[in-house]
Chain A
Amino acid sequence: MGILDLTFPRNEFKGLDDYEKIINHILKLDVPFTILKFNLNESGIAVKLDVPTEKVSQVTQTLEKAGIKIKRQVIEIDEELCIDCGQCIALCNTGALCFDEDSKLKFCEDKCVGCHLCVDACPRQAIKY
């Protein structure tokens, strides 16, 4: 499962209509999801969704296009543990993981959508979040 932490910003989403539109957006993707949390706070409507791991990047993209802020649970590589095998690279759908010219693992945080598909593929448990 992949947890998405969404915020529907206060000023852009004013009524239930707007909210409904977004949920319809997700429904159109035909992705099963569970709403884990729903509350209001100073920045807007905060929603926590649980979507299948392999669908995280698809859902993220759709929501971001609709103006919803997503707090991504990006990963972190523990360089002490990493052996630069590169196993994680083929699991990443967004190109956040790659090799540099010295065949050393390179992680581009801005490309990571926090799907965590790579996490349990690492034989050194070097991928944390």
Chain B
Amino acid sequence: MSDVSKTIEEINQKINDGSVCVVTAEEMIKIVKEKGKKIAANEVDVVTTGTFGAMCGSGAFLNFGHADPPIKMEHLWLNDVHAYHGNAAVDAYIGATRLSNRESDRGEFYGGGHVIEDLVARRIIHLKGTAYATDCYPRTYIETDFTIEDLNQAILCNPRNGYQRYNSATNSTKRTLYTYMGKLLPEFGNATFSGAGELSPLQKDPTCRTIGIGTRIFLGGGTGYVMGEGTQHNPNNDFRTLFLKGNMKEMSSEFLKGAYFTKYGCSLYVGFGIPIPILDEHLAESCARTNEQIMTQVVDYGVPRRTRPKILDVSYADLYSGEIRINGKDVKVSSLSSVRKARQIAGLLKDRIKKGKFYLTNPVATLPDDTEFKPMKVRSEVKFVDSIIKTAVTCNVKDDIKYVANLLLKKNTNHIIVIDEKNKLKGFLTSFDIARGVAKGLNLVKDMMMKKVFTTSPNMTVAEARRIMAHKDVNSLPVIDKNNRVLGIITAEDLLRMSKH
């Protein structure tokens, strides 16, 4: 058999005459395993993919048409969610993560993502707009109800979608964290991940050979297009993203779902899928990549920094097994994305192509492969606790009052941290506690000290530490590491001195 080489035009011809062979990414894995990539490339024309996950970057452009008399809205709310209105008179952009007004009776769980879901579900949306009057737009206030049918355009627009890969999240700290990666229980209580593994579009054509500007895709139940590379597209690091758009009037709320992540905010679950044309063996091979071959890393969201420490490398097969091992402990892991929906999307797209309702496209241009993802430039550098940490004056739980009173004088300090033999934090003493101890006739540190101590860690921002001090009404915070060992202390005086410079 000679090398397989097909063109999009030939595949479209087959779609036209009904002879096209379309399979889902999961089916392709089996075919390549059984028959090898050469035969698979020969037999299969298109592999369909799918993913259904929270895409915070989503939003929609809406055009309302003109009222009489006309208004150029300055502020605009859809179901009490503020929409962006810095463009032409009756266009607006509603972003998925925007929360509803605090005083709204829709409650805190409602946001832009839910407005988009309600729109495609053809539910009634309440609009309120205010404006300053101009000679051409005299109206200053408008309030009305509408559905998606009343709009001229409703265009879903996702500046960043279809991440090639994403980290899995876990939490080393002692408290529950609520993040955009979901609820993370303390001390590696669980882990979460996103992406659809072997069904993910960008995993099947990892260098975007066939995906480019103008590629037709399945988006939210309707048809959409790739407009170009998404924001933060970073090919050098295998972190490609896509910029997508599609007509919302064709979409269904089955594939666009508003979401609210506790103590994080709103988002939108977006379902999309890309058909990958099998032009040659290489594409057959990459389309057959399995969850075992698709890798990501588990990182610690307990460290609130831009670069979070990596804990381990895992494959999607490990993640889907429901349990991974961290530090010798079995940790339950679950997905933020829905495999069931991803599978459904790949299946639907396959049907559409087979029935001649969906044709493949040649990209107008390929995506850039030299962009990089730079961190934000921050003018005033953020300071972290480790930059202002001082050596702490410490004593042992077993010490007596004479010793600590002396220490106080000798070291000229007001705060003593109480530790045990292993340098672990046990309590805290201020000069006031010692004075009170004397008055009460107490003799041992362990009877006088405060046992509930507010602490900080080297990785906390100074601003956050300052907030804790103000909030808890304390003048200093012991700095501790993950194992409760005392590293030093920071004091309100140091913070004050810092802000003067």
Report if B90 contacts A (CB, 8 A). Answer: no
Report if B44 contacts A (CB, 8 A). Answer: no
> Do B259 and A90 touch across chains, with their CB atoms under 8 A apart?
no
Can you name the residue of chain A whose Cβ is closest to the Cβ of B258? A124
Q: Report chain A residues within 8 Å CB of B336.
A: 85, 87, 123
> Do A121 and B337 touch across chains, with their CB atoms under 8 A apart?
no
Q: How far is the CB of B298 from chain A (nearest CB, A)?
A: 13
Q: Which listed residue, B182, B257, B269, B322, touches A121 by the CB 8 Å rule? A: B182
Q: Report chain A residues within 8 Å CB of B109.
A: 125
Q: How far is the CB of B326 from chain A (nearest CB, A)?
A: 13
For chain B residues 175-227, which have a beta carbon within 8 Å of chain A?
178, 182-183, 185, 189-192
CB-CB under 8 A for A123 and B185, given A86-B334, A86-B335: no
Report if A12 contacts B (CB, 8 A). Answer: no
Q: How far is the CB of A59 from chain B (nearest CB, A)?
A: 18
Report if A88 contacts B (CB, 8 A). Answer: yes
Proximity bits, B42-65, A CB within 8 Å = 1, else 0 = 000000000010100000000000
Can you name the residue of chain A whose Cβ is closest to the Cβ of B259? A123
* Separation of A90 and B335 alpha carbons in the complex (Å): 9
* Separation of A110 and B262 alpha carbons in the complex (Å): 27
Report if B123 contacts A (CB, 8 A). Answer: no
> Do B261 and A123 touch across chains, with their CB atoms under 8 A apart?
yes
CB-CB under 8 A for A123 and B260, given A54-B185, A86-B338, A90-B192: yes
Can you name the residue of chain A whose Cβ is closest to the Cβ of B180? A123
Q: Report chain B residues within 8 Å CB of A78.
A: none
> Do B257 and A90 touch across chains, with their CB atoms under 8 A apart?
no
Q: Which listed residue, B262, B322, B332, B335, touches A85 by the CB 8 Å rule? A: B335
Most buried by B among A90, A91, A102: A90
Q: Report chain A residues within 8 Å CB of B269.
A: 83, 85, 123
- Please tell me the size bucket of the interface on A: 10 to 19
Report if A109 contacts B (CB, 8 A). Answer: no
Q: How far is the CB of A40 from chain B (nearest CB, A)?
A: 37
> Do B334 and A83 touch across chains, with their CB atoms under 8 A apart?
no
Q: Report chain B residues within 8 Å CB of A54.
A: 185, 189
Report if B448 contacts A (CB, 8 A). Answer: no
> Do B182 and A104 touch across chains, with their CB atoms under 8 A apart?
no
Report if A18 contacts B (CB, 8 A). Answer: no
* Separation of A104 and B182 alpha carbons in the complex (Å): 19
* Separation of A109 and B434 alpha carbons in the complex (Å): 55
Interface SS majority for chain B: strand
> Do A87 and B334 touch across chains, with their CB atoms under 8 A apart?
yes
Q: How far is the CB of A96 from chain B (nearest CB, A)?
A: 13
Report if A3 contacts B (CB, 8 A). Answer: no
Q: Report chain B residues within 8 Å CB of A89.
A: 322, 332, 334
Most buried by A among B52, B192, B259, B334: B334
Q: Report chain B residues within 8 Å CB of A104.
A: 340
CB-CB under 8 A for A83 and B335, given A90-B191, A120-B262, A123-B182: no
> Do A124 and B339 touch across chains, with their CB atoms under 8 A apart?
no
For chain A residues 22-66, which have a beta carbon within 8 Å of chain B?
54
> Do B343 and A103 touch across chains, with their CB atoms under 8 A apart?
yes
Q: Report chain B residues within 8 Å CB of A76.
A: none
Q: Report chain B residues within 8 Å CB of A87.
A: 182-183, 192, 334-336
Report if B341 contacts A (CB, 8 A). Answer: yes
Report if B333 contacts A (CB, 8 A). Answer: yes
Report if B234 contacts A (CB, 8 A). Answer: no
* Separation of A89 and B260 alpha carbons in the complex (Å): 17
Q: Report chain A residues within 8 Å CB of B343.
A: 103
Q: Which listed residue, A83, A102, A124, touches B52 by the CB 8 Å rule? A: A83
> Do B190 and A91 touch across chains, with their CB atoms under 8 A apart?
yes
* Separation of A120 and B185 alpha carbons in the complex (Å): 12
CB-CB under 8 A for A121 and B183, given A86-B334, A87-B334, A91-B190: yes
Can you name the residue of chain B whose Cβ is closest to the Cβ of A102? B340
Q: Report chain A residues within 8 Å CB of B191.
A: 90
> Do B339 and A121 touch across chains, with their CB atoms under 8 A apart?
no
Report if B267 contacts A (CB, 8 A). Answer: yes
> Do A84 and B341 touch across chains, with their CB atoms under 8 A apart?
yes
CB-CB under 8 A for A84 and B338, given A90-B190, A91-B185: yes
> Do B340 and A91 touch across chains, with their CB atoms under 8 A apart?
no
* Separation of A36 and B257 alpha carbons in the complex (Å): 39
* Separation of A103 and B337 alpha carbons in the complex (Å): 11
Can you name the residue of chain A whose Cβ is closest to the Cβ of B343? A103
Q: How far is the CB of B255 from chain A (nearest CB, A)?
A: 10
Q: How far is the CB of B147 from chain A (nearest CB, A)?
A: 20
> Do A125 and B192 touch across chains, with their CB atoms under 8 A apart?
no
Q: How far is the CB of A63 from chain B (nearest CB, A)?
A: 23
Q: Report chain A residues within 8 Å CB of B189.
A: 54
6 A-B pairs with CB atoms under 8 Å apart are A84-B339, A87-B182, A91-B332, A121-B182, A121-B183, A123-B260
Q: Which 10 residue pairs across A and B have the least CB separation, nearest first?
A: A90-B334, A90-B332, A123-B259, A121-B183, A103-B340, A120-B262, A90-B190, A103-B339, A84-B340, A89-B334
On B, residues with C-beta under 8 Å from A are 52, 54, 109, 178, 182-183, 185, 189-192, 257, 259-262, 267, 269, 322, 332-341, 343
On A, residues with C-beta under 8 Å from B are 54, 83-91, 102-104, 117, 120-121, 123-125
Given contacts A86-B334, A87-B182, A87-B183, 19 further A-B contacts (CB under 8 A): A54-B185, A84-B341, A85-B269, A85-B335, A87-B192, A87-B334, A87-B335, A90-B192, A91-B183, A103-B338, A103-B340, A104-B340, A120-B183, A121-B262, A123-B267, A123-B269, A123-B336, A124-B260, A125-B260
